[in-house]
Structure 1
Amino acid sequence: MGKTRRCARNHVKVEDDPFRSPYQRDRDRVLYSSAFRRLSGVAQVAAVNEQRVLHNRLTHSLKVAQLGRRLVQQLKHGESRDERELRKLAGVKADVVETAGLVHDIGHPPFGHIAEPVLDACLRRTDGLEGFEGNAQSFRIVTKLARRRTDYPGLDLTRATLDAMLKYPRPRPISAGDALGVPPWTDRRFGNKWGAYSSELRDFRWARKGARAEVRSANAILMDWADDITYATHDIEDYFRAGLIPLHDLRRDSSRIARHAHRRLGGMADFDAARFDAALKQVIKRFEMGITTSCWDTRQNRSAMNAITTMNLTECVGAVSLVAEPPYVTVEASCQYLVEALKELTWFYVIDRPSLAVMQKGQKRIVQSLYDRLRDCLAESPKSPRLPIQLRSLYRDLGHDSDFASAYARSSEAREARAVVDYICVLTEAQAVDLDERLSGRSHSSMFGAWFS
């Protein structure tokens, strides 16, 4: 007979698998969830329907999870008594960091970050709602929206896993006086966003029991660092392959890249422009030594890219270490500047391109249109046959959610707005585009085989 544990939210006793730890079971539950599979249809930067083989949110999350496990293994190299004691105090666990990496982006709406300000504005127009945040939506999905059983919501993950996914362990500040001070940007203990809605405060407090207010756990620091490393390295590979980042000839743009970065990062506390410039020179030198032409598909360039990526990953994994102060994990500042220099190549050559900006403007319009049309249909009648079945279910479940009712005073407007946003955040990009076309009368599809009915 396995040990018993309790569900974070409803205190439902469940039996542990005697062949898996609770943290391994967390990982399996995330991997088998439809919310996780959906990430294959959500972009990292460019659209997932590109013909080139680019990373999407699913492949990104898999790499974050793998790298998070390697970071924990790096910390376990030291076998001195002090190091063993620090590891125990930090509570670092490979399975926990890996699961947090798998789940950290699970709440991203279609089209990724570009949709977040649209949904935030939509929710903040509704009295009582604090807006939208992708990290808070991820926490909401694993604690409320994802379903394994009919007798409790969410995936019933352990406290350690929930705490590890909280990159921003705080609710949204309700006043200027509650705003978090601006720590040094290389201080990985803190984040500048927020990570839980009022409707999930009970789960949030359970996950954070015993933790220092607003300070990330050691596992969360490792997951966040794995996220930064992964994003910085694989986007460069994608956009060199697509012909957008000239890795063979970065030196010609080095001054413009540096100025662009200074404008983008200059507002971060204690940002050192000289250290960034030195890291950028190091990045450019590494690529110059291996990448010889603009063509990705040569054997030389593919081998060189693999070697450079391995070098960057090895250096960044080795940058984590144990320290005597809570939460007992730190990351070398020099490697953080290296990762920021790698990220800047994507910002300079890709994210700020007019072609991407035009596409993102259209994506924002789709998300806004979906919200407005679905909200109108829901306000007209929650039982309307024009509503997708899953949206009706989300709306109905909110009526039985005591946490939601307590947080938002049983507001019908809040219930409608939250149900629509929750529904949009379970769509892939292809589904969002198709549903928008159907609702606006621009679709050439028939009623037969509709994916949402």
Structure 2
Amino acid sequence: MSSDATPGSPAEPSPVPARHRREIAEPLPEGGVPYPSFDFRTDLERIRFSPYFSRLSAVTQVVPQTSAGPVIHNRLTHSIKVTAVAREIAVTLANDRGENGRRILRLGGCEPVVVQAAASAHDLGHPPFGHLGEQVLDRLARQELGLPEGFEGNAQTFRILAALDTNGLTPTGLNLTAAVRAAVLKYPWTRLEWRDRAPLPDGERPRGVGDARATGAHKFSVYSLHAAEVARVRAAYPGLDPWQQTVECSVMDVADDIAYSIHDLDDFYRAGVLQQTAVSGELRAWLRDEDTLAERSDAELRERSRTPGHGLETLWRRMRRRDPWIADPEAFRLAVEQVSIELGDTLLAIPFDGGGEAERAITAFTARWLDRFKRGITVDESPNVRSGVVRLSQQSWHDVNVLKFVHTRFVLDRPDLATVQRGQGTVIETLVRGFTAWLQDPDDAARAPRRLLESMDVAIEDYALLRREHPNVLSGPTDDASIIRRGRGRAVIDYVASLSDSQALSIAATISGGSDRLWSTGAL
């Protein structure tokens, strides 16, 4: 207490802990503690009450909802399961009295509610039709809308939290704590900052950067519009290396990998798109011909990519090239053997028919792998540049990679899925080009959707401010016409990315003249 304080007067509030700081100070709850412990829970509630969060129930995960009935995961159910896995990992680490727990304490601890908030938010930026929509929006943004940074779902997530959504107390953004904002930064860099860096060899680039010489980082969590805010957020963590995730972010990232590798297989099994003959054939062929395949050149593997065993050999070489710090031939072989037995020979031997036996089989399969991965969590105080502080053990890392390979090889590369995705890509193109043309129409632009017009005005102002205060982060021309073009393009991308699958289909039909409905109850 200061010397001139009167008896009974309230003590001076202590400074806000860096992790609890919000972008804009908010009024304290009446009669409350200045910086209450429920700061993080408030963040979690703001995210879960967000319309962007609710929208995820109508956004494709991988298999379209109509393909196999109500059992298929969407982005919301995926986010809920990631949150459940992440919370269990965080609570386990927080209560761990062994070496992992001691490492976490030395790193500053792991707050389970921050982890839950980050896991709930991690897919907010996904556009209609999942990763296909992300790829199309990125291409259109860069090639047609004058946005060198393009579009990226992770960066869009941060943009939603920081600018597009609102909690009613601040003009823009949810005004979350620094801890939660930092915890969603899986790839804490902008796209273009990597384009001008001296290229790093495979194995030394952070995961997600890829070959950045042409367009910049492949994965990134920050648009240049929000780079200054991210710098302030990460200043709350002075011990972080430049490209390192926070502890809570690394837990969320691991949980996302676990849920994706297991629960999507659940969907594919139920939808009947995983065929035992094809999956078992690939796994067994590699185990049988491992030595022979190792002698083949990369060119030979590409030429015979559909021959059983060749895809797994290509996967192994890619893992070894990109992640020599953890890739191990014995661990890879064990992963292939385990997946071959438990998936190829056991689960897929029981075709899914909706009956009790099939339900018990998929439930047991999921439970076994979840338990295995949660037991395989480790903490690394000095992680490799391609890893987080909380990561999977060496064997679990190989297991996840093999399970993901099954996704890619036998689902994502299927011609029938590709046919559907071609149509979905056309829907995205129709929306982006239609709304862009509308905003450029001097006679009719004023009748465009109000949210789109307001978003465009704000985006133009934001780019103009960025030009004044941080001109070095803008790539390409920055004259007034270019700034207007950037703002218009970013507003169109924000608008289309905020639609659900069904809204995208409906509005694309309407804006292209394919629907005769007069009134819309959609996002317009």
Normalising by structure 1, report the TM-score: 0.90
Q: 1:72 and 1:350 mapped to 2: Cα distance?
A: 32
Letter in 2 for 1:141: I
Over 3 Å counting, the alpha-carbon distance change for 1:198 and 1:383 in structure 2 is farther
123-132 or 420-429: which moved more? 123-132
Name the residue aligned to 1:22: 39
Q: 2:351 and 2:453 mapped to 1: Cα distance?
A: 51
Match of 2:224 among 174, 191, 198: 198
Name the residue aligned to 1:138: 157
Letter in 2 for 1:135: N
C-alpha contact 2:186 2:249 (8 A) present in aligned 1: yes
Name the residue aligned to 1:124: 142
Q: 1:379 and 1:405 mapped to 2: Cα distance?
A: 23
Give the number of the structure whose alpha-carbon radius of gyration is greater. 2
C-alpha contact 1:248 1:294 (8 A) present in aligned 2: no
Name the residue aligned to 2:258: 229
**Aligned alpha-carbon RMSD (Å):** 2.9
Give structure 1 stretches of 5+ with no counterpart.
Answer: none
Encode CA deviations 1:343-389: one digit per residue, 9 max, x unaligned: 22221221110000111111111111111110011122497354222
Name the residue aligned to 2:518: 447
Q: 2:194 and 2:337 mapped to 1: Cα distance?
A: 42
Partner SS state of residue 114, structure 2: helix
Letter in 2 for 1:70: E
Give structure 2 stretches of 5+ with no counterpart.
Answer: 1-9, 210-218, 286-306
Over 3 Å counting, the alpha-carbon distance change for 1:311 and 1:78 in structure 2 is same
* Identity value in percent: 28
> How far apart are 1:253 and its partner, in Å?
3.6
Letter in 2 for 1:233: I
Name the residue aligned to 1:430: 502
> How far apart are 1:426 and its partner, in Å?
0.8
Name the residue aligned to 1:346: 407
Encode CA deviations 1:72-100: one digit per residue, 9 max, x unaligned: 12223432588346325243111111111
Partner SS state of residue 135, structure 1: helix
Match of 2:111 among 79, 93, 99: 93
Encode CA deviations 1:99-128: one digit per residue, 9 max, x unaligned: 111111100111111122222222223446
2:346 is equivalent to residue 298 of structure 1: no
Name the residue aligned to 1:276: 332
Name the residue aligned to 2:124: 106
Partner SS state of residue 321, structure 1: strand
> How far apart are 1:227 and its partner, in Å?
0.5
Over 3 Å counting, the alpha-carbon distance change for 1:151 and 1:77 in structure 2 is closer
C-alpha contact 1:172 1:197 (8 A) present in aligned 2: yes
Partner SS state of residue 378, structure 2: strand
Letter in 1 for 2:490: R
2:423 is equivalent to residue 362 of structure 1: yes
Q: 1:297 and 1:81 mapped to 2: Cα distance?
A: 44
Encode CA deviations 1:266-323: one digit per residue, 9 max, x unaligned: 3341355664343121012123345542134232232122112111111111111234
Partner SS state of residue 437, structure 2: helix
Encode CA deviations 1:159-179: one digit per residue, 9 max, x unaligned: 111111111011113454426
Over 3 Å counting, the alpha-carbon distance change for 1:250 and 1:88 in structure 2 is same
2:352 is equivalent to residue 320 of structure 1: no
Over 3 Å counting, the alpha-carbon distance change for 1:239 and 1:324 in structure 2 is closer
2:224 is equivalent to residue 207 of structure 1: no
2:89 is equivalent to residue 71 of structure 1: yes
Normalising by structure 2, report the TM-score: 0.78
C-alpha contact 1:26 1:161 (8 A) present in aligned 2: yes
Match of 1:421 among 493, 510, 519: 493
Over 3 Å counting, the alpha-carbon distance change for 1:370 and 1:3 in structure 2 is farther
Match of 2:311 among 260, 263, 284: 260
Match of 1:333 among 394, 407, 417: 394
Partner SS state of residue 78, structure 2: helix
